[in-house]
């Protein structure tokens, strides 16, 4: 068995403004830096650290695990929101394509972006390869995006829940035991 921490990156300016910032490579905001500072002493010692290639995740990993080598997993990047990228609900609420996407529980294609099925498969494959490459009885941190965490837990966590029931806020984490391609949530920072 392996212990896995799923950590969502600290806040960015786009997060604060509730924008879709999938492929946008924003840095942490001052709030995000402070969130990482507060979280750092609460985390267990990890044997390995993995991160999305996007700046907000790399910065969070560096702040949470100073001196650790960070393994970059390109396929742990956030969903490509295509035509919705950089916009928020109030800017999109009258867009017919956005309304359609919402009405299909995010499963219809995003114009110029990624659909949920392809995105989830990409994230799950990246996580599985990395987690299975680790020896037994280690603790590994995966610093990534909310969407990636929801996709991975949606596929592997027991008991099963809906995709959005695994939502966590910026710089929060879940601790899971990973065995036989199943995740059991054992702790969190959600309180």
Domains annotated for the chain, with CATH where assigned, are 2-188 (3.40.50.1240)
The most confident of the ranges 52-56, 99-103, 177-181, 185-189 is 52-56
Predicted local distance difference test score (pLDDT) of residue 191: 40
For the entire predicted model, the pTM comes to 0.94
CA 162 from centre of chain: 16
Predicted local distance difference test score (pLDDT) of residue 2: 94
Q: What is the mean pLDDT of residues 154-171?
A: 89
What is the rounded average pLDDT for all residues in the chain?
94
- CB of 61 within 8 A of CB of 143? yes
Predicted local distance difference test score (pLDDT) of residue 190: 56
Whole-angstrom distance, CA of residue 145 vs CA of residue 7: 8
- The secondary structure of residue 28, as a DSSP letter, is P
- CB of 107 within 8 A of CB of 41? no
Q: Nearest-CA neighbor of 80 among 19, 20, 7, 150?
A: 20
pLDDT digits (tens, 9 = 90+) for 42-92: 999 999 999 999 999 999 999 999 999 999 999 999 999 999 999 999 999
- CB of 77 within 8 A of CB of 46? no
């Amino acid at each position: 068995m392996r212990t896995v921490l799923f950590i969502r990156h600290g806040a960015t300016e786009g997060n604060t403004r509730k924008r879709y910032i999938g492929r946008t490579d924003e840095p942490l905001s001052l709030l995000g830096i402070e969130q990482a500072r507060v979280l750092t002493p609460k985390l267990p010692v990890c044997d390995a650290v993995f991160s999305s290639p996007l700046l907000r995740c790399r910065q969070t990993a560096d702040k949470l695990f100073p001196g650790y080598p960070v393994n970059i997993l390109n396929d742990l990047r956030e969903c490509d929101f295509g035509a919705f990228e950089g916009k928020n609900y109030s800017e999109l609420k009258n867009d017919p394509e956005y309304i359609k996407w919402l009405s299909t529980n995010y499963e219809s294609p995003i114009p110029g972006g990624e659909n949920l099925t392809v995105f989830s498969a990409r994230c799950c494959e990246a996580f599985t390869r990395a987690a299975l490459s680790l020896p037994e009885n280690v603790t590994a941190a995966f610093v990534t995006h909310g969407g990636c965490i929801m996709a991975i837990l949606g596929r592997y966590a027991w008991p099963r829940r809906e995709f959005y029931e695994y939502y966590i806020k910026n710089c929060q984490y879940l601790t899971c035991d990973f065995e036989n391609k199943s995740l059991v949530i054992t702790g969190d920072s959600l309180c």
